[in-house]
Amino acid sequence: MQEKDVIAKEYLQDPGRFADLLNAEWFQGNPVLGPENIREKKGRSARIHRKAGRIRTAETTGDVAKEVVLKGKIIWVMLEAQSDIHFAMPVRIANEESMRYQEQWRNLRNQHRSRKDLKGTEYISGFGKSDRLIPVITLILHLGSKPWEGARSLKELMDLTGWPRRACEMIEDQRIHLIDVRRYPHPEVFRTDLCCVFGFLKNSGQKEAVEEIRKYPQGSLLPAEGGCLRFHRRDGGGSGTDTDKREEQNRERSV
């Protein structure tokens, strides 16, 4: 994993920033979600399979995994940071999200077995008529300098030429939800220092990048956070003065 991916993972663990990102994606920047709506997603999904006569397990977890709570309802939101293009990303996301749903089904089945509260076909299914799964959303945070050239849906990876329309409609699709940081249209909608990070990467290579970021409504946050500057330095945004470096080191110790 590239260094920028690691920084993104650490940076977006903060519930305030995570909520800010979702507000921009879901609510046009309106502060509907706050840190109190974001909880750490506990546990990992595991897939059990047999290989060479032995039982093996494979774990999956996003770079950042959160439970988002709104009006008493929960959605699991996974975030994957990508500096490089993954050309099979729809397959990868479909597999990981499927494992999340299997995890929920397995847990419900075990709970019912312990309570012995299912009969008939519900017992066979390990799933009651009134049971509900928690929705899973995966966001791809693309940090790369090149535009995303990979497929954005599972069907784009298939050759459906010549098959009847009805057959094609029966094939389930899996779309990925891509956030292209360097081409993000309105980084100024963020209410945290995410505006600085997105702005830095969007204006990468421009000497006036810092000045441009300071024009944003949250540009005043720029001197107060180390994360923005770490993104900028790793992105080749200039080494800065010795004073800048000392200030950055001091900020990094406190972040």
**Confidence (pLDDT) at 251:** 45
| C-alpha 84 chain-centroid distance | 15
Q: Which residue has the higher pLDDT, 157 or 220?
A: 157
Residues 166 and 199 in one domain: no
Q: Is the pLDDT score of 133 beyond 70?
A: yes
**Confidence (pLDDT) at 199:** 81
**Confidence (pLDDT) at 46:** 47
Whole-prediction pTM: 0.78
Task: For residue range 39-54, list pLDDT tens digits in order.
Answer: 998 645 445 445 566 6
Query: Average pLDDT of 74-95?
Result: 95
Beta bridge partners of 64: 79
| C-alpha 230 chain-centroid distance | 20
Residues 221 and 166 in one domain: no
Q: Is the pLDDT score of 135 beyond 70?
A: yes
Question: Which of 138, 160, 183 is the last residue before a domain boundary?
Answer: 183
**Confidence (pLDDT) at 45:** 47
Per the structure, how many domains does the chain have? 2
Residues 219 and 243 in one domain: yes
Residues 83 and 200 in one domain: no
Question: Which of 165, 183, 201 is the last residue before a domain boundary?
Answer: 183
Q: Looking up tokens 């799933």, which residue turns up?
A: 127
Residues 23 and 55 in one domain: yes
- Pick left, alpha or beta for residue 169 (phi over 0 → left; psi -120 to 50 → alpha; otherwise beta): alpha
Task: For residue range 169-191, list pLDDT tens digits in order.
Answer: 999 999 999 999 999 998 889 99
Question: Which of 149, 183, 217 is the last residue before a domain boundary?
Answer: 183
In the chain, the percentage of residues whose pLDDT exceeds 70 is 69
- Domain containing residue 174: 3-183
Are 7 and 58 in contact by the 8 Å Cβ rule? The answer is: no
Q: What is the spatial distance between Cα 31 and Cα 137, in angstroms, rounded to a whole number?
A: 20
